[in-house]
Amino acid sequence: VTAPVTSPALAAIPTPFLLVDVAALRRNVARAVALADGVSLRPHFKAHKCTRVLAEQVAGGGCRGVTCATAAEARVLAEAGFGTILVANEVVHPAALALLAAAARRVEVTACADAPVHVERLGAVAAEHGVELGVLLDVDVGQHRCGLPPGSPELIPLAARIARTPGLRLEGLMGYDGHAQHRPTPSDRAAAAQDTAAILAAERDRLAGAGYPSPVVSGGGTGTLQGSVAAGVLTEVQAGSYALMDVEYGAVAAPFERAVSCVATVISRHGGRAVADAGLKALSCEHGLPVAEDAGVQVVGMADEHATLAVSGAGGPAVGDAIALVPHHLDPTVNLHAALHARHPDGSIERWDVDGG
Amino acid sequence: VTAPVTSPALAAIPTPFLLVDVAALRRNVARAVALADGVSLRPHFKAHKCTRVLAEQVAGGGCRGVTCATAAEARVLAEAGFGTILVANEVVHPAALALLAAAARRVEVTACADAPVHVERLGAVAAEHGVELGVLLDVDVGQHRCGLPPGSPELIPLAARIARTPGLRLEGLMGYDGHAQHRPTPSDRAAAAQDTAAILAAERDRLAGAGYPSPVVSGGGTGTLQGSVAAGVLTEVQAGSYALMDVEYGAVAAPFERAVSCVATVISRHGGRAVADAGLKALSCEHGLPVAEDAGVQVVGMADEHATLAVSGAGGPAVGDAIALVPHHLDPTVNLHAALHARHPDGSIERWDVDGG
């Protein structure tokens, strides 16, 4: 993403706003397909909540369906024409279950279960709405969030319960290694992906031994994409952030390039200190600060509405100048914006709504 | 805010959502008026971006106008019928300046300046749109963000420039002591407020000596409200968070009660670990984690879509139960939601849009 100050079309957009470099996005999509090396991608919508970005990911090829985090997102995706939707999450609230059923009336939809209550609720809503729902058994591969622990005696009974519930379709298992996505080196992440694959292979084999085959073994992310492919157990990788990237993934040498930045206006400048109009309502900072694209500018503080910048050397941005800040953490940052502004290779700017609800 | 699990009306609202205790909000508003002790309140809209909450603050009395952070907010407020609007910020981008002028066509609007470029741009947009704009000179009272440093030789020339610019009305000065709002004890904050008051009194007196009186001396916040009143220089306090509060202000014994929580659904439970469906897209965590209202439950991790909870002892929330989490930082948390759900003293629930743009 190059400095955006030269384009009158960009200068007219109220700051702060997110700017997407479409050429870089497309290079990232092509690179993910190459790295997946025949394993399916199931791009994760939660990273950007923008159907236009997801369409770029799907258009790049190599995908089997799409992934999302919530039933509300599933409905948006189904209405936008995406199919074979995985909600990589447990769906529990009655309103969420109704949205899941609404999506399943249009396309194939799958959700996750790690306890009998999930199977009960999914079965009840499938019956109530006359739809079929796919189910993946969720396994805790080390993130210690949702999922059955590896080797749990509950796994086979849960599979049996899904298999005998009318309206549910047991598709296999998933285990998301979120704890490994930002490990510092590619080889750290490859080792973690091997561990994940070993756990999921053992669970897959236990299920097969009990008569429950797993056509789907889903997991992985942008950080573990290569390691997951090398480990050879996953049938699909749920990566999403690779499309646009962020500081966090850049810092651990994920093999993709930054395709998004937040354009802000400098509103105050006194000596080596400048202030821009992009704060915590434009850039999510729970894991760290954004990084300025200009090498002479450093973000030193973020408040609700302001980024405070240290400017080194003479010159640097004046009041009224645009400045580009790379988000530290993509997913909750895009969630702060109603739209992305996509810059095409020909220089034209297109508004892409963040329409994921 | 008591546990919300018993109300069918609440149970029907898709989680995660923000729940406001209207009785607690009104007690906070009354307490702020009492503490202000005759100094004007100018409640800050940026804390909640909800005109319905701002209306409660104004209805409590003791206010002279309202404060906001952006020109877009100013236009929303002007259209919603609020008057005497202070944008406590420098307004620089052409689109923002146009919104400021749109607001100023309806009601009295004031913005800030810390450099000639601000005066130029405010004067130009006032002339272009045929409106008058108030201007406060912005002084850096120790936060080291926007504002002229104390004693700056630029202060008087800047005042003169405002005074001679057609369409601009020099109203006085402001200095926001954001660095002091969360100091650990009330006496720490009172001392900081005294320092702020001393700086602003000196600048006010310099301006008066040069022939520029300051009918407005604006500053302060929820943390320094009492200290600012005691120091006796501010004519108005720009506090906002006192209406709803958060973990951060609660931790430093600000004299108000929590009136908001985020209601989430437990979606997974294995032993002492539970997971709820409120993550970084529902609760802003740059300064720390939310706090569960249930004493037996501790938030131990936040991801994009999940809160991971440690449950102590036997029992605790099961899958499907509602759980209430108090936001750590109010302003960027409310910004994540399209609406607040206000629970009135009679138990009825009303949707209050977060309509601040």
B5–A contact, CB cutoff 8 A: no
For residue A313, the model assigns a pLDDT of 81
Do B92 and A277 lie within an 8 Å CB cutoff? yes
- Asked if residue A15 lies in contact with residue A37, where contact means CB atoms within 8 angstroms, the answer is no
pLDDT, tens digit (0-9, with 9 covering 90-100), for B60-115? 999 999 999 999 999 999 999 999 999 999 999 999 999 999 999 999 999 999 99
B344–A contact, CB cutoff 8 A: no
Partners of A11 on chain B (C-beta within 8 Å) are: 94
Do B331 and A281 lie within an 8 Å CB cutoff? yes
B91–A contact, CB cutoff 8 A: yes
**What's the rounded Cα separation, in Å, for the pair B268 and B259?**
27
A277–B contact, CB cutoff 8 A: yes
Do A95 and B284 lie within an 8 Å CB cutoff? no
Per the DSSP assignment, residues forming a β-bridge with B138 are B174
Partners of B285 on chain A (C-beta within 8 Å) are: 286
A with B: how many residue pairs have Cβ under 8 Å apart? 162
Q: Predicted ipTM? A: 0.96
Of A95, A148, A318, the CB nearest to B14: A95
- Asked if residue A325 lies in contact with residue A264, where contact means CB atoms within 8 angstroms, the answer is yes
For residue B4, the model assigns a pLDDT of 46
Give the chain B residue whose CA is nearest to the CA of A335.
B281
**What's the rounded Cα separation, in Å, for the pair B145 and A62?**
48
**C-alpha distances in Å from residue B175, one per residue of A97, A189, A265, B199, B271:** 50, 49, 21, 9, 51
**What's the rounded Cα separation, in Å, for the pair B41 and B30?**
12
**C-alpha distances in Å from residue B131, one per residue of B95, B128, B141:** 16, 8, 30
A64 Cβ neighbours under 8 A, 6+ residues apart:
A40, A41, A42, A84, A235, A236
Give the chain B residue whose CA is nearest to the CA of A273.
B145
* E runs forming strands in A220-296: 236-237, 260-270, 273-276, 291-292
Our CA-based measurement puts residue B118 at a distance from the nearest CA of chain A, in whole angstroms, of 8
For residue B6, the model assigns a pLDDT of 63
**What's the rounded Cα separation, in Å, for the pair A48 and A54?**
8
Residue with tokens 């992440």: A189
**What's the rounded Cα separation, in Å, for the pair A58 and A41?**
9
Do A147 and B268 lie within an 8 Å CB cutoff? yes
For residue A2, the model assigns a pLDDT of 42
pLDDT, tens digit (0-9, with 9 covering 90-100), for B188-203? 999 999 999 999 999 9
DSSP A242: G
Q: Strand, helix or coil at A202?
A: helix
Partners of B302 on chain A (C-beta within 8 Å) are: 286
For residue B227, the model assigns a pLDDT of 98
Token pair of A120, please?
């009960």
Q: Is the peptide bond before A16 cis (omega within 30 degrees of 0)?
A: yes
**C-alpha distances in Å from residue B170, one per residue of B162, B211, B218:** 6, 12, 13
B150–A contact, CB cutoff 8 A: no
A161–B contact, CB cutoff 8 A: no
Strand order in the sheet with A216-219: A40-41, A236-237, A216-219, A168-175, A133-138, A109-113, A85-90, A66-68
Partners of A308 on chain B (C-beta within 8 Å) are: 144-145
- The H-assigned helical ranges of chain B are 8-11, 22-36, 51-59, 71-79, 94-104, 116-129, 155-164, 186-209, 225-231, 247-251, 330-334
Token pair of B139, please?
């002084």
Torsion of CA B105, A278, B47, B129, to 10 degrees: 0
- Please list the pLDDT of chain B residue by residue as tens digits (357 residues): 444 446 888 999 999 999 999 999 999 999 999 999 999 999 999 999 999 999 999 999 999 999 999 999 999 999 999 999 999 999 999 999 999 999 999 999 999 999 999 999 999 999 999 999 999 999 999 999 999 999 999 999 999 999 999 999 999 999 999 999 999 999 999 999 999 999 999 999 999 999 999 999 999 999 999 999 999 999 999 999 999 999 999 999 899 999 999 999 999 999 999 999 999 999 999 999 999 999 999 999 999 999 999 999 888 999 999 999 999 999 999 999 999 999 999 999 999 999 998
Nearest to A335 by CA among A288, A283, A292, A272: A283
Nearest to B11 by CA among A118, A68, A96: A96
Per the DSSP assignment, residues forming a β-bridge with A263 are A17, A324
Nearest to A126 by CA among A163, A169, A63: A169
**What's the rounded Cα separation, in Å, for the pair A303 and B131?**
31
Per the DSSP assignment, residues forming a β-bridge with A264 are A323
> What is the DSSP pairing of strand B216-219 with strand B168-175?
parallel
> What is the DSSP pairing of strand B260-270 with strand B273-276?
antiparallel
Residues 109-148 of A with CB under 8 A from B: 114-115, 117-118, 121, 138, 140, 144-148
* Rounded mean pLDDT for each run of 10 residues along chain A, 357 residues in total: 64 97 98 97 98 98 98 98 98 98 98 98 98 98 98 98 98 97 96 98 98 98 98 98 98 95 98 97 98 96 98 92 98 98 96 96
